[in-house]
Amino acid sequence: MLGYIAEYDSKTDDENLLRIAGQEEMILLTRDEELYKRAQAKNISSLLVHGEKEEERLGQLAKTLGISLDIDMVKSRCPECGSELQEASKEEVSNSVPSASLKMYDQFWKCESTECAKVYWVGSHWKQIHHTLEEARRIASMPK
Span 13-55, pLDDT tens digits: 999 999 999 999 999 999 999 999 999 999 999 999 999 999 9
**What global pTM score does this model have?**
0.81
pLDDT per residue over 111-139, tens digit each? 999 999 999 999 888 899 999 999 999 99
CA torsion, ordered 142, 51, 58, 131, to nearest 10 deg:
-80
Query: Of the candidates 121, 125, 131, which has an alpha carbon nearest to the alpha carbon of residue 96?
Result: 121
